[in-house]
Amino acid sequence: MGEGPAAAVPDDRTRHEDPVARTPHGAVRGRYENGVAVFRGIPYAAPPFGPGRFRPPAPPEPWDGVRDAGAFGPTPPKPPYSEAFAKLLHDPAVPGDDCLNLNVWTPEPGPGARLPVLVWIHGGALTRGSSAMPVYDGRAFARDGVVFVSLNYRLGVEGFALFPDAPANLGLRDQLAALEWVRDSIAGFGGDPDRVTVFGESAGAISIGALLASPRALGLFRRAALQSGAPEVTERDRVRRVVRRMAARLRVPATARAFAAVDRAALLAAQAEAGRRSGPVLGGPAFGIVVDGDVVPGDPLEALTEGRGARDVDLLLGWTSEEYRLWLAPTGLLRRLDRLGPLGPLALAAARARCRCGPEVPRGYRLARPGAGAAELVGQMVTDFLLRAPLRRLADGHGARSYVYEFAWPSNVPGLGACHALELGFVFDTAHTPDAARLTGPGAPQPLADEMHTAWTRFATTGTPGWPHWDTSHPVRVFGSGGPPLARGLRDRELALWLRPGGGGPRSSPRP
């Protein structure tokens, strides 16, 4: 593509003045940290409260002078994780209404550098998470010559509820507004608006799947990386059920106008209770992206596999080898399923109902994994249904512009294995930090972080991560397995089960 790798930035560079950059709304002052310029908490849209509550994002009010951008801005309202998940997933909350903000790490602030840009959309089941999580520190990308942007967007009931008197997919509209800010502003931070890669994990990857098929996103990014999340939409009635449950608990009508008048703490408490039984294994009512005829005109997976949507976008797609362990281990469900031994009638019925498949699918998994317990069989079935089968369909439809990976290094935390979200510290080269160690445990291998971080940086810079593109031999780059780095036909036997009659279809729900 005529793009060479960007030059790395020396770590020992010193600066005597804080960096200043200009946006369409005003100038911002960041900080030099470890040789790169960092700007935090830049508003890309007005606070989504007061008149803006349950409304599409609006431009922020311009400011005079130079606005300080030295600290993370407010995070969107969200309930805390349960105690079991909080031990593994640190989710800081910053109070304040001006939560539609973003952060920039750059090696060369100011116009003229024209460096590649990476834009991060965080995960968290569309109900939790933020750009302030320490694992998402962008210094390593800026160190290696890439301008890195991370953003906040509305979550849960504020961002993904369905009301008769408000637009749908407000959180997705926030993401679009942030990408438009990148298009209009990133040159002032040293970035090239024509070389933008958007990447995300879990719900962030699901969001990117919708953006890939959205006419509103055309031209906003050139490449995309989807980590452990596939294009999908949630049934509108599932979202309505969450809203109705909240309305009953709050004793208000199920309208945006009524919800906007509710105290924020009470609203979050009702949201947490209403979504208590949602999740990838249990299913149940949940917030999610829905078809709205506007931002999401139809099912994004169907659109992309049928050749509609972003055909000229390079794709990096993948998963971890034991995604399900983060969904099951912290709550003890993994142990309870394992006590069942082989896949028995009760677990079989639950797996078939969750994955909407015939008996051929679990029978095929038992043949492919002789001796596996119920937890592994159910977990891998759900993982393939939610993630691998639809991502494979996406790669098949995108062909030579797609690259597929699997993360296989098992965590040093007992029971987690190569679980959902474990790869994040390696992609960001933050696996050595205390925050990442919640998932990795002690002694995360730095060479593995070097490999993954280099691959993502190379993809953003050149369009290829360093292994063969997807073709009929199904090449998969395997990180951290201890075996050959490239496997062809990995998981073909099990994934083929989903293409047969009775194999169900890739429809899912947001991940925890």
**DSSP-assigned letters across all residues of 75-89:** PPP-PPPPHHHHTT-
Q: Which one is catalytic: 185, 202, 214, 228?
A: 202
The pLDDT tens digits for 39-90 are 999 999 999 999 899 999 999 999 999 999 999 999 999 999 989 999 999 9
512, part of any domain: no
281, part of any domain: yes
Predicted pLDDT of residue 94: 97
6, part of any domain: no
The pLDDT tens digits for 494-504 are 999 997 644 55
Predicted pLDDT of residue 320: 98
Q: Is the pLDDT of residue 304 over 60?
A: yes
461, part of any domain: yes
What whole-number percentage of the chain has pLDDT above 90? 78
Predicted pLDDT of residue 5: 43
3, part of any domain: no
Structural domain boundaries, residue 429: 20-499
Q: Which one is catalytic: 232, 322, 323, 376?
A: 323
Predicted pLDDT of residue 278: 72
510, part of any domain: no
C-alpha closest to that of 257 among 269, 247, 266: 247
CATH of the domain at 232: 3.40.50.1820
Residue range 150-178: average pLDDT?
98
Predicted pLDDT of residue 342: 61
User: Using the 8-state DSSP alphabet, how is residue 385 labeled?
Assistant: I
Q: Is the pLDDT of residue 309 over 90?
A: no
Predicted pLDDT of residue 355: 86
C-alpha closest to that of 465 among 486, 444, 488: 486
Q: Is the pLDDT of residue 505 over 90?
A: no
Predicted pLDDT of residue 499: 75
Q: Is 469 a catalytic residue?
A: no
Q: Which one is catalytic: 25, 122, 398, 420?
A: 420
C-alpha closest to that of 334 among 230, 205, 427, 420: 420
Q: Is the pLDDT of residue 107 over 70?
A: yes
Q: Is the pLDDT of residue 218 over 80?
A: yes
435, part of any domain: yes
Tell me which of 12-16, 149-153, 155-159, 401-405 is least confident. 12-16
Q: Is the pLDDT of residue 7 over 50?
A: no
Cβ-contact 375, 381 below 8 angstroms: no
Q: Residue 10 class from Cβ within 10 Å (0-12 exposed, 13-18 middle, 19+ buried)?
A: exposed
As a whole number, the mean pLDDT across the chain is 91
3-state secondary structure of 159: helix
Q: Is the pLDDT of residue 2 over 70?
A: no
CA distance 219 to 334: 43
161, part of any domain: yes
Residue range 102-114: average pLDDT?
93
Q: Is 323 a catalytic residue?
A: yes
User: Number of folded domains in the chain?
Assistant: 1
